[in-house]
Amino acid sequence: MKVSVVIPAYNEEAVIGRCLNALTNQTVKAEEIILVDNNCHDRTVEIAQKFPVRIIREKRQGISYARNAGFNAARHEIIGRIDADTTVFPNWVETLKKSFADEQSVGVTGPYHFRNLPLPQINETLNTLFLVYLPRLIHGHFLTYGSNMGLLKSAWKKIAPQVIMNNREVHEDWDLSIWLSKIGKIAFVPQLQVGVSARRLINLPSNIEYGYRYLKMLFRLYITHTYQLIDRKTQTARNSR
């Protein structure tokens, strides 16, 4: 199976070179790398043009719009997704391909550490405990993280009409995983490793808002039952009776 890797980007000149350098120096190459220019007005695109990447433009501002544009443009069976401040390990693409050998899996995610914090092994362990296994306990399945994930293109086509586009209401990557869990298995792959920037971690207001958005997602999931995947053919048949 071939891989398209999608990277949404908005003014990421400080980190995009490092990201693309790691992604283009892999034990197994990705067949396609897509950078989604979400109205960058810095040197992000200029830097990206130095690498073998396909650059597309999404004029609607927002991470969900950029992600969707990249996923819809992806040409191959597996869609990998990372953030512009992600640094993948050298075998990331190879591991991503192997992760879908389990035919039940429609999505995968892996561990990460904050590369600009001390003791990377310890902070990776804490991230895995609190941001991987604790959410699994709450949701009954693993959540995918935009900084380190993959899904089948066929699965994306099924859930694309359902994903919530209001980024003030949901975490787009976790919202995506909730929809994915309704059509198949999400696997946690320990070997699918990346480093990410801690730039958002040290922003206290951002972290408070992050937690508040997660609570709103839980409200949607367990109280209002927004997350219902409708069989459109069945619904159409019912409506025609």
Detail the DSSP E strand segments found in 132-177: 149-152
The phi, psi pair for 218, rounded to 5°, reads: -60, -35
Task: Considering only the C-alpha atoms of the chain, give the largest distance between any 2 of them, rounded to a whole number of Å.
Answer: 63
Report pTM.
0.89
Q: Which of 51, 43, 39, 45 is nearest to 10 (CA)?
A: 39
Structure tokens, 200: 């958002």
List the chain residues with pLDDT less than 70: 118-120, 200-204, 230-241
SS3 at position 181: helix
Report all structural domains of the chain as residue ranges with CATH numbers, in order of start. 3-239 (3.90.550.10)
- Give the Cα separation of 140 and 59 in Å (integer): 36
* Own/partner long-range contacts of 177-182 (Cβ < 8 Å, ≥24 apart): 177/107, 177/109, 177/141, 177/142, 177/143, 177/144, 178/139, 178/143, 178/217, 178/221, 178/227, 179/227, 179/229, 180/106, 180/107, 180/144, 180/151, 180/155, 181/139, 181/140, 181/141, 182/227, 182/229
Instruction: Give 49-108 pLDDT, tens digit per residue.
Output: 999 999 999 999 999 999 999 999 999 999 999 999 999 999 999 999 999 987 889 999
The amino acid at 72: N
Structure tokens, 13: 């000149």
pLDDT of 239 reads: 40
pLDDT of 235 reads: 43
